[in-house]
Chains A and B, each alone.
Chain A
Amino acid sequence: MTHSTEVKRADRKAYKPGRIAIIIGATIIAVVLLAAILAPWIAPHDPYVQSMLARFRPPSAEYWLGTDRFGRDTFSRILYGLRITLWTAAASTALAMVGGTAIGILSGYCGGRVDRWLSAANDLLMSFPQMVAGIIIVALLGPGVTNLIIAIAITAFPAFYRMARSAALALRDRDYIDACRVLGYSDTRIVARHILPETMDDMIIIATLWLATAVRTESSLAFIGLGAPPPAATLGGLVREGFDNLLDYPGLAIWPSLAILVVMIGLNLMGDGLRDANDPRASA
């Protein structure tokens, strides 16, 4: 009796940090997401309307975070920037997850020559630093949100590929997968019913963690001028614009930077929390 209650208490203790992180992270993400979705209704100003009379205003009741050199409201631009940044991050991560999982499982399950070639190609992709790969791909594809999404997806692909491949590789040799073969299930059925569902937990956790990386990559690419073309507001683009007047009006770069920070903290907390909550060793 005492033993079992002790175990339960220990369980709860080990489980808690993960849960708190998930709750805080999810709250932050929910607020940010809501702000982005509701931007057209809650933004106090049009983010694209310029006003020569209202340039470089300090924060005030009318312009909460001040205005930029064209007199556009910084707060409104951050709200709209969140939209593009979050959409880019979500779409590219989803794309990388679907592609990486599919090709990774194919690679791990088939093994042999297929696996060798796909892994070699993936290693090649991984050997480029993420930013360099992103820059090359955007340069090749040209600017624009769609191309940006594709570029970020390609840089995130290896993480999903590797995880899915190793999971499929480990599951492939389980006795119950052999049992499936003996029962005459086709490879398609085995993969879809018995391997894919078991990899999904891991893939979703990586996806949350990679969302944060995708936000960072998008912002970095935008900062060096390879993001969504102006006048579109993206968080990285706002930092870049603010950077030109950094010494005189530091707020223009700092506010969007803070927004990026908040988004990343939220996503990382949620991802780490999910991982801890899912890690069988964490509750041991």
Chain B
Amino acid sequence: MTVLRIDKLRTTLRLGGRDCDALREVSFSVAEGETLAIVGESGCGKSMLAMSIMGLLPAVARISEGRVILGSRAIEAEPESRMEKIRGAEIGMIFQEPMTALNPVFTVGSQIAEPLRDHLGLSKSEARKTAIELMERVRIPAAASRFESYPHEFSGGMRQRVVIALAIACRPKLLIADEPTTALDVTVQRQILDLLDTLQEQGEMGMLLITHNLAIVAGHADRVVVMYGGDVVETATVRDLFRAPGHPYARALLASLPRVDRDLSELASIPGRVPPLAMLPDGCRFIDRCPHAMDICNRMPPTVELGEGQGHTVRCWLHVEGGEHAADG
């Protein structure tokens, strides 16, 4: 069953009196129990995408086209009062920075209990009991005695566990994890990701894992959406992406990973940088950095399906007309 479907989503920012598309024709879906990774470098629209789904866009941004369908309901145009009931209850979210995501003046327990009381209407004692269960589920040791602790008494990894407990408190259908481990030590990263995997299996949540870390994608995602400059350039299963990336950007991204079986003296990188939002080209947005750029790339490329029914799609002119140019990469 599909938990979330994004259909031709366009999010527009008004900058200096001009409309710029921060997201263009973004489409993908997340199934129950599936982890979909969104990969891309800074400024590719990953966080803008998360905020579009949550209905928490800044005042200068708006969804100008397309749909966000949660379960079977379109939520992109829901009024704020309805979104307040959806956020935290049906969609949970985890942030990058666990050190500042908790209110320093309230106990950890009372903060975990708050969404339970707000969304599920539990009584104070029920909420307390459920909060302690949640703390146990995210494997906070001695949960009952740490209920009264304050956030500053917790380490970064423990705080991220609290943030996760908050996000899953109301058993959401969808969990958005925006760079959930970027601020953590590598050893703790692993623990947190494993925890997320376990929780997801238990709750059959769909998970949207936003990251720039390909190692995390390989280890914890089922499918991947590669984004560049606000476009979805490639959608594939993790296996397909790592074996046969189709888009020049995805290829370059994978080629820049250091590999144990190759010479490490030279780290590959992609020349150039992401153009600023106001200067993004109208056609393919990778055009200035792409080794295969052609005249036709000044037009928006279509989405092309690779293989048969594997859901591997690429948005690139190289693959149009049977993909005769695709091989020379």
A binds B: yes
A residues near B, CB below 8 A? 112, 174-176, 178-186, 189, 193-194, 197-198
* A182-B88, A184-B89 as given contacts; A176 in contact with B119, CB under 8 Å: no
B residues less than 8 Å from A180 (CB atoms):
103
Q: What is the CA–CA distance of A189 and B115 in the complex, to the nearest angstrom?
A: 11
A184 near B102 (CB under 8 angstroms)? no
CB pair A181–B87 under 8 Å, yes or no, is yes
Partner of B102, one of A112, A176, A182: A176
30 contacts between A and B (CB under 8 A): A112-B59, A175-B95, A176-B100, A176-B102, A176-B103, A176-B104, A178-B95, A179-B95, A179-B101, A179-B102, A179-B163, A181-B56, A182-B56, A182-B87, A182-B93, A183-B166, A184-B83, A184-B84, A184-B85, A184-B87, A184-B88, A184-B119, A185-B84, A185-B115, A185-B118, A186-B84, A189-B118, A193-B114, A194-B103, A197-B105
B54 interface contact, C-beta 8 A: yes
Judge if B86 is at the interface, Cβ distance under 8 Å. Answer: yes
A1 to B95, CA, bound (A): 38
Q: Is the CB of A174 within 8 A of B87?
A: no
Counted as pairs of residues, one from A and one from B, with CB atoms less than 8 Å apart, the total is 55
Name the CB-closest residue of A to B176: A182
Minimum C-beta distance from B87 to chain A (A): 3
B7 within 8 A of A: no
Q: Are A184 and B118 in contact (CB under 8 A)?
A: yes
Does B179 sit within 8 A of A, measured CB to CB?
no
B88 touches A183 (CB 8 A): yes
Question: Does A198 contact B54, Cβ atoms closer than 8 Å?
Answer: no
B161-179 near A? 1/0 per residue, CB < 8 Å: 0010010000000000000
Apart from A176-B104, A182-B88, A186-B84, list 16 A-B contacts with CB within 8 A.
A176-B101, A178-B95, A179-B95, A179-B163, A180-B103, A181-B87, A182-B93, A183-B114, A183-B115, A183-B118, A183-B166, A184-B87, A184-B119, A185-B88, A185-B115, A193-B114
Question: Shortest beta-carbon distance, A284 to chain B, in Å?
Answer: 17
B32 in the interface, Cβ–Cβ < 8 Å? no
A179–B163 CA distance with the chains assembled, in angstroms: 9
A194 contacts which chain B residues (CB < 8 A)? 103
Min CB distance, A56 to chain B, in Å? 59
Shortest Cβ distance from B111 into A: residue: A176
Question: Cα distance A90–B56 when bound, in Å?
Answer: 43
The number of chain B residues touching the other chain, given as a range, is 20 to 34
B96-119 contacts to A, CB under 8 A, are 97, 100-105, 114-115, 118-119
Residue of B nearest to A189 (CB): B118
B191 to chain A, nearest CB (A): 21
Most chain-A CB neighbours within 10 Å: which of B81, B101, B103?
B103
Which residues on A sit within 8 Å (CB–CB) of B105? 197-198
Top 10 A-B pairs, shortest CB-CB distance: A184-B88, A184-B87, A183-B88, A175-B100, A176-B103, A182-B93, A179-B101, A184-B84, A183-B115, A175-B101
A186 and B89 CA atoms in complex are apart in Å by 13
Q: How far is the CA of A198 from the CA of B106 in the complex (A)?
A: 10
CA distance in complex: A176, B114 (Å): 13
Could you say which residues of chain A place their CB within 8 Å of the CB of B87?
Answer: 181-184
Least CB distance, A261 to chain B, in whole angstroms: 38
Q: How far is the CB of B143 from chain A (nearest CB, A)?
A: 20
For A111, give the chain B residue with the smallest CB separation.
B59
User: What A residues does B85 contact at CB under 8 A?
Assistant: 184
Chain A residues, Cβ within 8 Å of B59: 112
Q: Which residues of A contact B104 (CB under 8 A)?
A: 176
- Please, which residue of chain B has its CB at the minimum distance from the CB of A198? B105
Cα A181 to Cα B56 with chains together (Å): 8
CB of B297 to closest CB in A, whole Å? 38
In the bound complex, what is the Cα–Cα distance between A181 and B105 (angstroms)? 18
Cα separation A178 to B51 with both chains bound (whole Å): 11
User: Which residues of the partner chain A approach B88 to less than 8 Å between Cβ atoms?
Assistant: 182-185
Across-interface contacts of A184 in B (CB, < 8 A):
83-89, 115, 118-119
A44 to chain B, nearest CB (A): 50
Complex-state Cα separation, A183 to B97, whole angstroms? 16
Contacts of A185 in B (CB 8 A): 84, 88, 114-115, 118
B166 partner residues in chain A, CB cutoff 8 A: 179, 183
Closest residue of A by beta carbon distance from B103: A176
Chain B residue numbers with a CB within 8 Å of A183 are 87-88, 114-115, 118, 166
> Which residue of chain A has its CB nearest to the CB of B90?
A184
Shortest CB distance A181–B (Å): 6
Cα distance A112–B59 in the bound complex, in angstroms: 11
A178 to B57, CA, bound (A): 12
Shortest distance from the beta carbon of A203 to any chain B beta carbon, whole Å: 15
